[in-house]
Structure 1
């Protein structure tokens, strides 16, 4: 992808980017290169290579040999995952790339790579002004962070105001091999967060025997706070720009347009 285009992608209309993705992504149909793959397989078979066994469960080879269906199942449907599920769209394209790399011509490989670049640039790296977070009240900020953890496949519980240690959200995973309890503290602040707040959170994590503590803020952290994070694997600090990146990744780049809906649904629980 041209750097000039990527540098201006925030100002590009979504329809334009979608149309470009549609051009790059693999459509359903056949490729000129398919006949060369078929010829090569025929030659190998004549030379005694057990092609049938080697590609026994390869769907592309099955379609290529059957001649009754398009050789390639397309990927244009990933557009339906945008803008709300960009990470899912990326996972699909990456899986398609891995499964078909050895049979795709270079221009189609480049098309898939360009698709990944466009999705990341438009939907994951999209910038949102910090004011969006600062304009939330503290309870709305907590709801937004909880919404993020729900979309990261955690079971969540908003604590009562009287909960000891200033913990706002308890996020849990129960899956074997990934079981964890995360204590989340939300700070809808403007000033930087200092090391004292981080130290207090670490104490709560230890006393509650939690997996780790996460401090999420609409501001940033002091250098001493970040140093403490680096020295303590049970502490994670998420500043406002980290939060925006995670919201883009797990909630879709249009999360800021959905704030009213998110808060109304949470309010009615």
Structure 2
């Protein structure tokens, strides 16, 4: 048994707690809970200062909060409970959950808990995928994990969401500072990144859409007519109806309106009636661009220049 004293983290400030938990466990002068924020105040204070935090610190905290495999304190009690059952009962439990099987079959270096800390490798570029992985792990193990570990998974998701998904980017200002043509090129770049073959239509006689995006596989083919609206005001129903009208005479599977603003309620209702038009507002566009790079707003000119290089001849028509 360790002779190090146990320190109650609830009695510490956030900075005092961080000073201890950021030190490797074997080098700490005391024992302290480091697998979750032990108070709501600590959590709120950390989230509120998340953008001032060092990336290395974020990763250490996440690694502490996520299950890294091995053993947990609950294992001994759980295994004793299983061993108290009859053989038939134990076999039923093993069939119910792989954790029970691993716990009963444990030997040598094997461990009952499968690690989750690998999701850190998804950051910073795939934060939503990291959160989805934590949610799936939570769902699979919520009836077995101790409360502190469940809190740790929840806290890890909040850190990732606040750090990589909800931080404020000057999205609308960046888009409005683009020319309408450069905005179209940015949207073309987005769809090219999604795997579509894209064509930016000429300035004159664009046929009612700004970008043509096509993609096909063995099952289906898509032909999207994308209208790009770099507007400060919200997009109304008249524009939606106009874009829908082009589908009558154009060979497209769906129309898409991408806006630097939002859509009015009548416009949204009209789109839902049709089912052949997709409305992408400012927030939707931001989410899609973050899948390319969480700091995409700083690279807009780079994306536009790549598309200009690809369509230089077309743009000069």
Q: State the TM-score, normalized to the length of structure 1.
A: 0.80
Question: Does 1:142 pair with 2:187?
Answer: no
Helix, strand or coil for the counterpart of 1:70?
coil
2:231 aligned partner: 189
Q: Are the aligned partners of 1:157 and 1:171 in contact in 2 as well (CA < 8 Å)? A: yes
Q: Are the aligned partners of 2:79 and 2:104 in contact in 1 as well (CA < 8 Å)? A: yes
1:58-207 → structure 2 map (5 Å cutoff): 58=98, 61-62=101-102, 65-67=105-107, 68-129=109-170, 130-150=172-192, 153-161=194-202, 162-172=205-215, 174=217, 176=219, 180-207=222-249
Structure 2: gaps (5+ residues): 1-39, 311-317
Give the Cα–Cα distance (whole angstroms) in 2 for the partners of residues 241 and 194 of structure 1.
17
Among residues 303, 308, 312, which one is paired with 1:262 in the alignment?
303
Give the Cα–Cα distance (whole angstroms) in 2 for the partners of residues 215 and 175 of structure 1.
27
2:27 aligned partner: none
Change (3 A) 1:78 1:219: same
Helix, strand or coil for the counterpart of 1:164?
coil
For residues 174-193 of structure 1, what are the alpha-carbon distances to aligned partners after superposition, in whole Å with 9 as ceiling and x for unaligned?
474x8644322112233443
Change (3 A) 1:108 1:51: same
Give the Cα–Cα distance (whole angstroms) in 1 for the partners of residues 271 and 46 of structure 2.
33
Q: State the TM-score, normalized to the length of structure 2.
A: 0.69
Give the Cα–Cα distance (whole angstroms) in 2 for the partners of residues 222 and 205 of structure 1.
21
Q: How many residues align?
A: 265
Deviation at 1:89, TM superposition (A): 1.0
Give the Cα–Cα distance (whole angstroms) in 1 for the partners of residues 51 and 304 of structure 2.
28
Helix, strand or coil for the counterpart of 1:166?
coil
Among residues 58, 63, 75, which one is paired with 1:34 in the alignment?
75
Deviation at 1:131, TM superposition (A): 1.2
Change (3 A) 1:82 1:211: same
2:32 aligned partner: none
Larger radius of gyration: 2
2:37 aligned partner: none
Deviation at 1:60, TM superposition (A): 6.7
Deviation at 1:23, TM superposition (A): 2.6
Helix, strand or coil for the counterpart of 1:183?
strand
Structure 1: gaps (5+ residues): none
Change (3 A) 1:113 1:241: same
Give the Cα–Cα distance (whole angstroms) in 1 for the partners of residues 302 and 174 of structure 2.
15
Deviation at 1:215, TM superposition (A): 0.8
